[in-house]
Amino acid sequence: MRRNTALALAGIAGIILMNRVSEAGPAETGKMHVKAGEFKKIYDPSVGEKEPWYINDHCFVYGPDERWHMFGITHAEPANPLDEKHLAHATAERVFQSPWRKEPFALSAVWEPWRESHLWAPHVIRHNGLYYMFYCAGDPDHTKYKFHLTTSRDLKTWTRHPNNPLVVDGFDARDPMVLKVGREWVMYYTANEKPEGGRHIVAYRTSRNLIDWGERKVAFTDPASGTYGGPTESPFVVRRGKYWYLFIGPREGYDGTDVFRSESPYRWELVDKVGHFPAHAAEVVRDTEGRWYLSRCGWGRGGLYLAPLEWNDGQDERDTSMPIPK
């Protein structure tokens, strides 16, 4: 336990140091094309617990029961990331309602036969009536972190895929996000140039079947170097019209997410910055009325928050990778 806490503190120190390096990059230019309104607390993971709990990297999905579902990292305070053994689950009728209802854990780490040292950063998509949850299963060897897949038809009962792990990468490769681009699926995640360290990157791999993933490629490289926490975590990608937006953080401190824009889903540069939010592990979600929202959470933040998201890119009437959920 003491070792895990020390590593967590080392990660926090690393985030602060790495953001100092990344802030030395090109100055912000041009118009900010995306903005957030006031954040409202929608979920408190401490409900029913004897001590405060936190939510970290998470995701939203609209279920077959016509309710919203949130899955995410959770643990009792203080931060202890290598002891995060369960994934939180909460539900709501409306995405911006408060409070969301706390549900039993969606998934818990299993050592044999899956060798899951912890559970991080779930991402859920729906394809052909089946829900696919991709998540980081960790590993004692930080240069060989694993991405696992579990599936469900009702967002309640989950079955791990026999091909796990689908991806192995480092250092602490984590935070998978999966998106359909043309005829193939793309998995974005955070890692380093080399498994043992180096500059922080947003990596990606492609697949035709969501099971078999190709070789790693690089979508974004930050000048900051190191291991553990870094400024390319929690990648989230949204297409609006011809533009592809990449949300990553923590940048400019623990509570910081930058947005970059490109006309390619496979490459962003530091000069492409078009937005910044005071948010950790931000996710984008769109409700059944078509309204856009941005989330934030994190260690010591007391739960999960949402804010209205405003786009100023002239693409409101164009096609998007996030259509209104039905």
Closest alpha carbon to 114 in 75, 146, 73, 152: 146
Average pLDDT score, the chain: 92
Tens of pLDDT along 97-144?
999 999 999 999 999 999 999 999 999 999 999 999 999 999 999 999
Residue 24: HSE in the Cβ half-sphere, 13 Å Cα cutoff: 7
For residue 202, what are the domain limits? 2-311
In a domain, 319, yes or no: no
- Give me the pLDDT at residue 255, please: 98
In a domain, 256, yes or no: yes
In a domain, 231, yes or no: yes
Domain count, the chain: 1
**CB neighbours of residue 11 within 10 Å:** 19
5 has pLDDT over 70: no
- Give me the pLDDT at residue 125, please: 98
Tens of pLDDT along 218-253?
999 999 999 999 999 999 999 999 999 999 999 999
Higher pLDDT, 9 or 66: 66
In a domain, 318, yes or no: no
- Give me the pLDDT at residue 32, please: 80
Q: How many residues does the chain have?
A: 326
Task: Report residue 240: phi and psi, to 5°.
Answer: -135, 110
In a domain, 321, yes or no: no
31 has pLDDT over 90: no
Give the mean model confidence (pLDDT) for residues 155-182: 98
* CA atoms of 268 and 288, how far apart (whole Å): 30
End-to-end CA distance of the chain: 44
In a domain, 316, yes or no: no
Token pair listed for 47: 């409900």
CA distance readout (Å), 238 to 123, 227, 235, 268, 288? 14, 27, 10, 13, 17
- Give me the pLDDT at residue 267, please: 98
pTM of the model: 0.92
In a domain, 99, yes or no: yes
In a domain, 101, yes or no: yes
73 has pLDDT over 50: yes
Higher pLDDT, 23 or 164: 164
- Give me the pLDDT at residue 239, please: 98
**Residues of the chain above pLDDT 70, percent:** 90
- Asked if 262 and 272 count as a contact pair (C-beta separation under 8 A), the reply is yes
Query: Considering Cα of 265, then 270, then 276, then 280, what sign does the dihedral take?
Result: positive
- Give me the pLDDT at residue 321, please: 98
CATH number for 19: 2.115.10.20
70 has pLDDT over 50: yes
- Give me the pLDDT at residue 14, please: 46
Residue type, 16: I
